[in-house]
């Protein structure tokens, strides 16, 4: 949990604060799509409840498998029949889907159903509909293509090659749109981007296809890298890794890399950089002795974030991160060498169920860290948070100051967030 061999593989503990965008919610971002979730009843429960609470229940149906149908193999025929029924019903209502997905749970990894063959058979019967197979399989979390990565690849796989390329760019890697006041939109326009596109922008399948015309994919979070590789192969769209950063100098470097990928000159970013630096230092002074707990489920590079805080004068209490990503390795080494006293915890380690709560005055930046540490103050922040660049730093500092001024109602915060384990 916290030792020299920090990142260990073990049984996983999923706290009530762990979760976020389930794969079903991600799939439902595809405009004019419908989804059939195929699993034993218990497996779809969390996703179904979340869909109901967030008003997404209208584009998903559930085929609950019985023990008899699993053992006999009859459920493959049940899938075909269910798809026929749902397509007919949607068509009668004037809502014929452009994309139809078959979602299966991890039990199907043991059964070995040929979902591609089922999709092919359905595609021949309904040539105007794209059929894709999707998986909700937590058992692949430690593989090269975990669920969060695989589902992003699936939702972009329905884009078709465009006849021509325009000057637009795509934001890939996060499923929630970036806040409109993030400076990235203005900076990209000054670099020559005609349009900045994100999957959440579209209500129609035809509109969504405009993402295939973009000249560049800007990958702002690690789960989007695999999808972008495949988009480069299928659609001819190159990509640049531009992960969210919190050290102002790293943000400047990232924009330089984007400009290079676009063949453009990077505009003057001095004013933006100064604003971020000032926000960090002012917040550190405002907090005084209050310490910060960093959550890797809230920021995708927690060690880079921790380093930004330390360099600005904050005191970091602890860091919660399940697995070190390559983009964060340099800053991980920096934190370990410069501040070995900072404990690092794996939030899904079984020992977290008996971990002692902190008695110090702390602000936890993220739900899991807040829940597991017992911090009195928690920043209302999940992994899909809409923050990016210098303005992302400024906004996050505002959120930290606000959280430090009030005691968190953790139960209400988690209920409002509708986390999906």
Concatenated DSSP letters of 183-217: THHHHHHHTT-S-EE-GGG-SSHHHHGGGGG-SEE
DSSP 112: T
The superfamily (CATH) of domain 31-147 is Nitrogenase molybdenum iron protein domain (3.40.50.1980)
Amino acid 34: pLDDT: 97
Rounded to whole angstroms, the Cα distance separating 193 from 204 reads 22
DSSP 310: H
* Sign of CA pseudo-dihedral 332, 333, 334, 337: positive
Show the beta-strand stretches assigned E in 235-341.
Answer: 239-241, 291-295, 316-320
What is the domain partition of the chain in residue ranges? 3-10+273-416, 31-147, 169-262
Domain 169-262 in the same topology as domain 31-147: yes
Amino acid 139: pLDDT: 66
Amino acid 141: pLDDT: 67
Amino acid 46: pLDDT: 74
Amino acid 3: pLDDT: 45
- Tokens 């988009």 — which residue? 231
For residue 417, give the 3-state DSSP assignment.
Answer: helix
349: left (phi over 0), alpha (psi -120 to 50) or beta: beta
CATH classification (class only), 169-262: alpha beta
Amino acid 411: pLDDT: 87
For residue 378, give the 3-state DSSP assignment.
Answer: strand
- Treating both helix axes as pointing N-terminal to C-terminal, what angle do 147-157 and 225-235 enclose, rounded to 10 degrees? 30
Query: Per-residue pLDDT for the chain (421 aa), expressed as one digit of tens each?
Result: 554 568 888 887 878 777 777 889 999 999 999 999 998 877 877 778 778 878 888 999 999 888 877 777 778 889 999 999 999 999 999 999 999 999 988 777 767 778 889 999 999 999 999 999 998 876 666 667 788 899 999 999 999 999 999 999 999 999 999 999 999 999 999 999 999 999 999 999 999 999 999 999 999 999 999 999 999 999 999 999 999 999 999 999 999 999 999 999 999 999 999 999 999 999 999 999 999 999 999 999 999 999 999 999 999 999 999 999 999 999 999 999 999 999 999 999 999 988 999 999 999 999 999 999 999 999 999 876 899 999 999 999 999 999 999 999 988 888 887 776 4
């Amino acid at each position: 949990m916290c030792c020299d061999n920090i990142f260990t593989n073990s049984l996983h503990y999923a706290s009530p604060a762990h979760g976020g965008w389930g794969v079903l919610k991600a799939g439902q971002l595809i405009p004019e799509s419908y989804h059939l979730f195929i699993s034993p009843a218990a497996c779809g429960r969390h996703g179904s409840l979340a869909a109901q609470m967030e008003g997404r229940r209208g584009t998903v149906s559930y085929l609950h498998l019985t023990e008899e149908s699993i053992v006999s193999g009859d459920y493959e025929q049940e899938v075909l029949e269910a798809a026929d029924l749902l397509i007919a019903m949607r068509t009668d209502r004037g809502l014929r889907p452009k994309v139809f997905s078959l979602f299966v749970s991890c039990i199907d990894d043991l059964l070995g159903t040929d979902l591609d063959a089922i999709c092919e058979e359905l595609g021949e019967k309904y040539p105007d509909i794209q059929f894709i197979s999707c998986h909700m399989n937590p058992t692949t979390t430690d593989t090269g293509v975990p669920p969060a990565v695989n589902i992003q690849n699936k939702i972009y796989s329905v884009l078709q090659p465009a006849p021509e390329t325009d000057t637009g760019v795509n934001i890939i890697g996060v499923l929630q749109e970036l806040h409109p006041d993030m400076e990235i939109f203005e900076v990209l326009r000054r670099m020559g981007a005609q349009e900045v596109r994100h999957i959440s922008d579209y209500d129609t399948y035809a509109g969504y296809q405009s993402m295939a015309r973009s000249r560049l994919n800007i990958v702002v979070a690690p789960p989007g890298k695999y999808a972008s590789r495949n988009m480069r192969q299928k659609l001819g769209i190159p990509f640049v890794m531009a992960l969210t950063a919190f050290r102002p100098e790293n943000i400047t470097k990232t924009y330089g890399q984007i400009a290079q990928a676009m063949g453009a000159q990077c505009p003057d970013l001095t004013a933006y950089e100064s604003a971020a630096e000032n926000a960090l230092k002012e917040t550190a002074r405002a907090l005084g002795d209050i310490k910060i707990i960093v959550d890797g489920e809230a920021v995708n590079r927690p060690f880079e974030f921790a380093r930004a805080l330390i360099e600005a004068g904050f005191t970091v209490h602890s860091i919660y991160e399940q697995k070190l990503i390559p983009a964060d390795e340099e800053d991980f080494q920096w934190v370990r060498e410069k501040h070995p006293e900072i404990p690092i915890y794996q939030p899904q380690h079984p020992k977290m169920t008996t971990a002692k709560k902190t008695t110090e005055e702390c602000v936890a930046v993220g739900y899991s860290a807040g829940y597991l540490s017992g911090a009195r103050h928690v920043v209302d922040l999940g992994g899909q948070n809409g923050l990016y660049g210098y303005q992302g730093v400024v906004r996050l500092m505002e959120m930290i100051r606000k959280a430090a001024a009030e005691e968190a109602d953790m139960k209400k915060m988690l209920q409002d967030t509708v986390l999906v384990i």
